[in-house]
Amino acid sequence: MSNSNATFQPLKIALIGYGKMGKAIEQIALAQGHTIAFIIDADNSHELTAANLQQCDVAIEFTSPHTAVQNIFSCVDASTPIVSGSTGWLEHWEKVKQYCLDKNGSLLYASNFSIGVNIFFELNKKLAALMHTHPSYQVTVEEIHHTAKKDAPSGTAITLAEQILAAYPDKKNWVNELTTSSSELSIISKRIDPAPGTHVVKYQSSIDDIAIIHTAHSREGFASGALLAARFLVGKKGIFGMKEVLGL
């Protein structure tokens, strides 16, 4: 049996964003034997240059909806593979995707890097496929995060909602509020400290309820998943997600 540690190659990582997630990634990356080549935060964004990026094997980006797109473009321009976990910017997804493909770049995006959440996504799709023929059940998505989270609903909740909409031809869109419209899917967002993230998909009827729940206990799962994604992306060209990383 081969030892996976024998093939371990430490990475030189550019860390773009130094909030709670950035700090968690730094801690785990160093513990795993990787190097943080440089850190970009709001105070030194001018250091996000091609020269700096080209010294790195990969960039990991967790910033804000307002800076994510330009950060991705900067990495693609420098031919540095980028793992992005910023949420709230996906209205620009097609533009970013085309830019990356045109420049032969390497991008891995996920709304959530947790292994558990990505398995949860697969359960959500399966449950929606089973439930859409039972109109007596009303489906809702609820997400709970800490008060410092910059966007609502969470990117994970949007992913869950879009998976449900794909199974429900009569539902046209999601809304970030409680709705009684049969053509809309409710996402309820709550901000409560210190919750790192809970997502609930619930099907309610007058007879019974069915729910699937994912609760994160810390940011460690997200940070470890982002590093797993970074190791996967190095040496590849194209656009990827956690389905490819995890072989789902």
Choosing from 46, 66, 125, 145, the catalytic residue is: 145
21 within 8 A of 223, measured Cβ to Cβ = yes
62 within 8 A of 52, measured Cβ to Cβ = no
Choosing from 46, 132, 134, 149, the catalytic residue is: 149
Estimate the crossing angle of helix 220-233 against helix 115-131, to 10 degrees: 100
Neighbours of 157 (CB within 10 A): 27
Comparing CA positions, the residue from 99, 104, 71 lying closest to residue 86 is 71
Q: Known catalytic residue: 34?
A: no
Instruction: Report how far residue 56's alpha carbon sits from residue 229's, in angstroms, rounded to the nearest whole number.
Output: 15
Q: Known catalytic residue: 149?
A: yes
Phi and psi, residue 178, nearest 5°: -75, 130
86: CB partners within 8 A, 6+ apart: 17, 61, 62, 63, 64, 65, 67, 68, 71
CA distances from 240 to 11, 103, 106 (A): 19, 15, 8
What separation, in Å, do the N-terminal and C-terminal C-alpha atoms of the chain show? Answer: 24
Q: Locate 198 and state its tokens.
A: 């809970």
Q: Indicate which residues carry an active-site annotation.
A: 145, 149
